[in-house]
C-alpha cells in the first residue's frame, strides 16, 4: 500500500537555550550555512504480523516481526540574521523475511514484509533572543512531504 502525505504546520513556537551558533545581540548577526548527516538504526513498529492456515481442522499461526535496519538523514540550514530556513531528507527501508518450513507445508515458503520511507521537511524560523545570549523564542513554520510504501 502506498501512502503519500503532505502536511503543513501552522505557527509553532519553541523556547530553549541558544546554541553556540547564535551568540550576538545585534539585530543583524550576519549569515551562516550548516550541513549535517545522521545515521539511523530504526525498527518498524509493525509487530505481530501474523499469517494463519488450517490443516486437518487445526489452526496454525506464525508471526513475522520486522528487525532493526539502517537508514540515513541529511539536511542543511541557512541562517541570515535571526531568520533561518532548513531542509532535510530522510530515507529508511526495511525488508524482513520469515522462511516457512514447519509442517504441514509440503514445500518451503517465505513471508516478506517491506517498508520504504522517504520524507522531505522544510522549515522556516525566526529567532528572537532574550538576555542576549542565554534564551530565545523561535516561531517557525514548515511543510513535510512523505512517501511511504508498505
Q: What is the pLDDT of residues 55-101, one digit of tens each?
A: 677 777 777 778 889 999 999 999 998 899 999 999 999 988 877 76
Worst-scoring range by mean pLDDT, 58-67, 98-107, 123-132, 139-148? Answer: 98-107
Task: Say if residue 85 is exposed, middle or buried (CB neighbours under 10 Å; 0-12, 13-18, 19+).
Answer: middle
Q: Report the C-alpha gap between 5 and 147 in whole angstroms.
A: 7
- What pLDDT score was predicted for residue 106? 57
DSSP labels for the chain?
A: -EEEEEEE---B--EEEPPTT----SS---EEEEEEEEEEEEE-----EEEEEEETTEEEEEEE-PPEEEEEEEEEEEEETTEEEEEEEEEEEEEEEEEE-STT-SS-EEEEEEEEEEEEEEEEEE-EEETTTTEEE--EEEEEEEEEE-
Q: Report the C-alpha gap between 101 and 89 in whole angstroms.
A: 40
Helix (H) or strand (E) holding 61: strand 58-64
Tens digits of per-residue pLDDT, 6-59?
A: 554 444 444 444 444 444 555 556 788 999 999 999 888 765 677 776 667 777
- What pLDDT score was predicted for residue 37? 93
- What pLDDT score was predicted for residue 93? 92
- What pLDDT score was predicted for residue 121? 94
- What pLDDT score was predicted for residue 76? 95
Amino acid at each position: 500500500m502506498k501512502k503519500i502525505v503532505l502536511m503543513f504546520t501552522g505557527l509553532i513556537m519553541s523556547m530553549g537555550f541558544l546554541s553556540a551558533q547564535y551568540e550576538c545581540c545585534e539585530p543583524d548577526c550576519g549569515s551562516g550555512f550548516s550541513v549535517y548527516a545522521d545515521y539511523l538504526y530504526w525498527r518498524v513498529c509493525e509487530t505481530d504480523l501474523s499469517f494463519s492456515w488450517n490443516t486437518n481442522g487445526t489452526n496454525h499461526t506464525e508471526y513475522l516481526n520486522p528487525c532493526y535496519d539502517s537508514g540515513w538523514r541529511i539536511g542543511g540550514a541557512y541562517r541570515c540574521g535571526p531568520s533561518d530556513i532548513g531542509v532535510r531528507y530522510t530515507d529508511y527501508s526495511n525488508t524482513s523475511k520469515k522462511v516457512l518450513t514447519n509442517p504441514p507445508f509440503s514445500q518451503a515458503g517465505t513471508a516478506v514484509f517491506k517498508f520504504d520511507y522517504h520524507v522531505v521537511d522544510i522549515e522556516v524560523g525566526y529567532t528572537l533572543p532574550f538576555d542576549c545570549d542565554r534564551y530565545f523564542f523561535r516561531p517557525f513554520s514548515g511543510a513535510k512531504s512523505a512517501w511511504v510504501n508498505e
